[in-house]
Amino acid sequence: MYEREALKVIENINKTFKVLLVTGPRQVGKTTLLLSIKPDNMEYVTLDDVVLREQARKDPKLFLEEHPAPLLIDEAQYAPNLFSYIKIAVDKGDKNGMYWLTGSQQFHLMKNVSESLAGRVGIVNLNSFMYCEIARNKSKVLFDPLNLKKAEKINVNELFKIIYKGGMPALYKDDNIDSNIYFQGYLDTYISRDVRELTEIGNVESFKKFIVSVASRTGEQLNYSTLADDAGISVPTAKSWLSILTSSGLVYLLEPYMSSELKRITHMPKIIFMDTGLAAFLAGWESARDLQLSPSAGHYLETYVISEIVKDYNARGIRPNLSYYRDKDKKEIDLIIYKNNTLYPFEIKKTASPNKSMIKNFELLNKSNKNIGTGGIICLYDDLMHLDENNYIIPISSVINAKEL
């Protein structure tokens, strides 16, 4: 079994809160993880079971009486009425870790949780495998501009094989699974179950065209008009459908850096598909090699690096404060990490020969009222080293697989 980075924060939440909620896209391992660590006296029920689902919906009080705590409820979003009764139960109880919940539909689930269980629940957002989990690196450290670490080199060909395959756990449990068949089934299941639970999408084929268009533009600035044209839908519909992809955890929107001191900056986020394997399938790439040698390789590499950072933050229960910079003159900084009133700028490049010209746009941040901290070029160079006094050449391995020595 692959050990998950989120295990530590889940254990801490269980000691601190009466309710634990693990959210995330379908098939990223939420249930598998919780079943592997649940106490022997904790019962497991899944609301994928139609009979149990109907009981939980129609008579939540009786449902909880017949399935007393400690209880693990899988796919809890199917019975939103349960949450108010769980609140009553935990308020009567005096133990932490009474209820463990999982759910794939974050929008509705989070709305119901925030209304019913505020202050009583700890939440973890689980994603597909990170590189460090695949590599079984149990000592992975969070990427920190103030504490950069050397890491074992990752061969570029192997890296793009991982980018192409993605991180869905099923693909690593059985090497005989055909990824194209798996992702097609995943897409069909996602649309037939999650999407139709969230909204009436109307034309399924148009929605499929839409999600393909989004995946094909991962790493690019969001343009609703283009997405709408590709799918043959209106711009308002494109906005609604993109909110479905973000609420279900498939897409992360990297917001633009905003500052009153900086003029002429973009207001549109950048599309980051959270599993590059699913994105590559949707976009029609037939092999890792084809993707690696294509004009889209840089966008996929950027997507992969940013998604890995987001996943790592999520696994530690931390909300990432990430952004990017782009102005009307198309001058861009790929990634900005903000903390302690300081901006840490990074370029992400598919190159093994970085140079100072690649960070020339960092100086644009000097007009802001924030401190400018350590930055650099995240790239395919072998070693971690200084580029100049304030910036580094940073191997991708130092971002996605660095560990404490």
Two tokens, residue 119: 């202050």
- pLDDT tier, 197 (very low <50, low <70, confident <90, very high otherwise): low
pLDDT of residue 200: 62
Residue 254 gets which letter from DSSP? Answer: E
pLDDT of residue 5: 94
Beta bridge partners of 278: none
Residue 261 predicted with pLDDT over 80: no
- CB neighbour class for 220 (10 Å; exposed up to 12, middle 13-18, buried from 19): middle
Same domain, 105 and 224: no
- What are the tens digits of pLDDT across the range 27-82? 999 999 999 999 999 999 999 899 999 999 999 999 999 999 999 999 998 888 89
CATH of the domain at 48: 3.40.50.300
Same domain, 119 and 163: no
* CB-side neighbour CA atoms (13 Å) of 204: 10
Task: Confirm if 100 and 11 have CB atoms less than 8 A apart.
Answer: no
Q: Which residue range forms the structural domain that includes residue 19?
A: 7-125
Same domain, 108 and 164: no
The span from the CA of 131 to the CA of 140, in Å, is: 10
Of 91, 125, 159, which one is at a domain's C-terminal end? 125
Same domain, 221 and 147: yes
Same domain, 151 and 73: no
Same domain, 117 and 77: yes
The span from the CA of 322 to the CA of 256, in Å, is: 9
How far is C-alpha 6 from the chain's CA centre?
Answer: 13
Scanning 69-146, the segments in alpha helix (DSSP H) are 82-92, 106-116, 131-134
Q: Is residue 50 part of a domain?
A: yes
The closest of 172, 162, 238 to 27, measured between CA atoms, is 172
Task: Confirm if 120 and 20 have CB atoms less than 8 A apart.
Answer: no
